[in-house]
Amino acid sequence: MIKRKKRNKAHNPFYDPTLKKRHASAKRFKKFTLTSLIFSIAFLAFFLFDMIGKGLPAFNITYVKVDVTFSEKTLEDTRFAVPTSYRNLVSRAALRDLPKLLEKNPTYMNSTQNLWILASSQVDQYVKNHNHNLKDKDIETVNELYAEGLIKKKFNAIFFTNGDSKIPEYAGIFSAVIGSILTLTITMLVAFPIGVMTAIYLEEFAGDNKFTRLIEININNLAAIPSILFGLLGLAIFINLFGMPRSSPLVGGLTLALMTLPIIIVSSRAALRAVPDSIRQAGYGLGLNKIQVTRDHVLPLAFPGIMTGSIIGLAQAMGETAPLIIIGMIAFIPDAPTMVTQAATVIPAQLFTWASMPEGMYIEKTAAGILVLLSILISLNAVAIYLRKKFEVKW
């Protein structure tokens, strides 16, 4: 049997003795491509897992139940409001806020209350089994309190309501969120109209001439210029030449707008191009002029596509940091800005600042901030996909 098969092969003029090897090589090649794909997806999974693992603990924060004495003396120097052995365990910042607490509860004056007070970051890190530098004596106290149930973790609302702070347990992302909103508002107010108008010009009005091609090449190049160079532009032109205030959402927003412009132009053009010519011709047939056709017929049909592109552009601007560092948006900002000309910071810049802090708690907060930033970005992209699906027209 075996012998015959061999002879058959030998007599077969199409038999290729290297075939087995060739098939094996084809299989290896397929495996290599699959492996590289799996590697990229595995990396994404590892990254998300790592960030969630590092960030989740920050959404809880430790509180200690202590006797707080309210009197003239303790309000003057709030460190004396708690017993000496607790002094290293409670947050200095929380004690500083005692007068505010008294305002809310005037009956506390000249009495001692047993209250849940924010623990210091060291205690928090110790309770979470992270690196800490508590003294042995304090560790003993913490262990005792823990056994008695006088230490507990609560939801970290401070993280969402406070601005940046030099005291780790009091640092939050609120002012960065407001800064981001102000900055991105400027970005969209500038980039959206200019981008859409450019797209309309290129798609509907411009002929195929040198000027058009120059603009097209320019837009392609603009999309590929490193973001840090936009920061240099912002610094040299908006701040040094026009004298706009440094670190302000105004300058940041304008700088990001120039970066976002190509994304909006390219996607708006694609949306305009998708509107079939029959729509335009029907308009002309009724005696409308070019502007009326564009404004009343083409633009409304292209609008969902334009929105989708703009949201994606917004999401990209939201994650951008490098140009904002150059124009100084990494300042220490504890209070939320109220005007676009005030110094502000944005979420990614806040994360950058925290990431360079030595205390362990800032690492946790950076990761938590990353989770917040990523969830905003994912929601924005989800909205974009939803819009695209909902208004998708099959012509």
Partner 1 sequence: MLSSLQSEKKRRELNEKLIKSALILAAVISILTTFGILFSILFEAIEFFKLRSFWYFLTGTTWSPGVANSQFGALPIFAGTFVITIIALLVAIPIGLGSAIYMSEYASPKLRDYLKPILEVLAGIPTVVYGFFAAITVAPLVVKVASFFGLEATFNSALASGIVMGIMIIPLISSLSDDVIRAVPDSQRKAAFGLGMTHGETIKNIVIPSAMPGIISASLLALSRALGETMIVVMAAGLRPNLSWNPLEDMTTVTVTIVNSLVGDFEFNSPETLSAFALGLVLFVVTLILNMISLSLIRKFKEKYKVNTL
Across the beta sheet with 111-118, what order do the strands follow? 111-118, 60-70, 151-155
Range in contact with partner 1 (rule: CB under 8 A) among 101-109, 166-174, 194-202, 279-287: 194-202
Dihedral angle computed from the Cα positions of residues 153, 135, 352 and 318, in that order, rounded to the nearest 10 degrees: 10
Contact indicator for 367, 132 with CB cutoff of 8 Å:
no
The answer for residues whose C-beta is within 8 angstroms of residue 359's C-beta and 6 or more apart is 121, 168
Q: Does 343 bind partner 1 (CB under 8 A)?
A: no
Q: State in angstroms the smallest separation of the CB of 19 from partner 1.
A: 9
Range in contact with partner 1 (rule: CB under 8 A) among 21-29, 117-125, 148-156, 297-305: 21-29
Nearest one of 168, 160, 164 to 333, comparing CA atoms? 164
Q: Does 330 bind partner 1 (CB under 8 A)?
A: yes
Binding map of partner 1 across residues 29-68, x = CB under 8 A, - = no contact? xx-xxxxxx-xxx-xx--x--xx--x--------------
Q: Does 348 bind partner 1 (CB under 8 A)?
A: yes
The bridge status of strand 111-118 relative to strand 60-70 is antiparallel
Q: Does 373 bind partner 1 (CB under 8 A)?
A: yes
Distances (CA, A) of 275 to 219, 264, 340, 363: 22, 17, 38, 49
Q: How many of the chain's residues bind partner 1 (CB under 8 A)?
A: 88
Nearer to partner 1, 119 or 171 (CB): 171
Identified binder of partner 1 from the candidate list 101, 244, 325, 383, rule CB under 8 A: 325
Q: State in angstroms the smallest separation of the CB of 218 from partner 1.
A: 5
**Residue carrying structure tokens 């001692």:** 112
Q: Does 382 bind partner 1 (CB under 8 A)?
A: no
Contact indicator for 383, 311 with CB cutoff of 8 Å:
yes
Nearer to partner 1, 86 or 192 (CB): 192
Q: State in angstroms the smallest separation of the CB of 56 from partner 1.
A: 15
Q: Containing H/E element for 343?
A: none
Q: Does 9 bind partner 1 (CB under 8 A)?
A: no
Nearest one of 152, 122, 153 to 137, comparing CA atoms? 122
Classified as helix, coil or strand, 250 is: helix
CA distance 298 to 244: 38
Nearer to partner 1, 32 or 155 (CB): 32
Show contacts with partner 1 in window 195-224 (CB under 8 A).
195, 197-198, 200-202, 205-206, 214-215, 217-222, 224
Q: Does 305 bind partner 1 (CB under 8 A)?
A: no
Contacts 24+ apart (CB under 8 A), 42-48: none
The answer for residues whose C-beta is within 8 angstroms of residue 130's C-beta and 6 or more apart is 57, 360, 364
Q: Does 176 bind partner 1 (CB under 8 A)?
A: no
CA distance 292 to 83: 77
Nearest one of 391, 393, 242, 259 to 324, comparing CA atoms? 259
Q: Would you state the structure tokens that stand for residue 88, as one six-digit string?
A: 């290293």
Show contacts with partner 1 in window 238-257 (CB under 8 A).
240-241
Nearer to partner 1, 81 or 344 (CB): 344
Q: State in angstroms the smallest separation of the CB of 93 from partner 1.
A: 25
Identified binder of partner 1 from the candidate list 302, 351, 368, 372, rule CB under 8 A: 351
Q: Would you state the structure tokens that stand for residue 103, as one six-digit string?
A: 């305002």
Contact indicator for 337, 299 with CB cutoff of 8 Å:
no
The answer for residues whose C-beta is within 8 angstroms of residue 332's C-beta and 6 or more apart is 164, 166, 353
Nearer to partner 1, 95 or 199 (CB): 199
Identified binder of partner 1 from the candidate list 237, 244, 343, 387, rule CB under 8 A: 237
Q: State in angstroms the smallest separation of the CB of 34 from partner 1.
A: 5
Range in contact with partner 1 (rule: CB under 8 A) among 67-75, 98-106, 127-135, 365-373: 365-373
Identified binder of partner 1 from the candidate list 6, 73, 79, 290, rule CB under 8 A: 290
Which amino acid is it at 135?
K
Q: Does 300 bind partner 1 (CB under 8 A)?
A: no
Binding map of partner 1 across residues 155-174, x = CB under 8 A, - = no contact? --------------------
Q: Would you state the structure tokens that stand for residue 166, as one six-digit string?
A: 């030099």
Nearer to partner 1, 167 or 222 (CB): 222
Nearer to partner 1, 33 or 161 (CB): 33
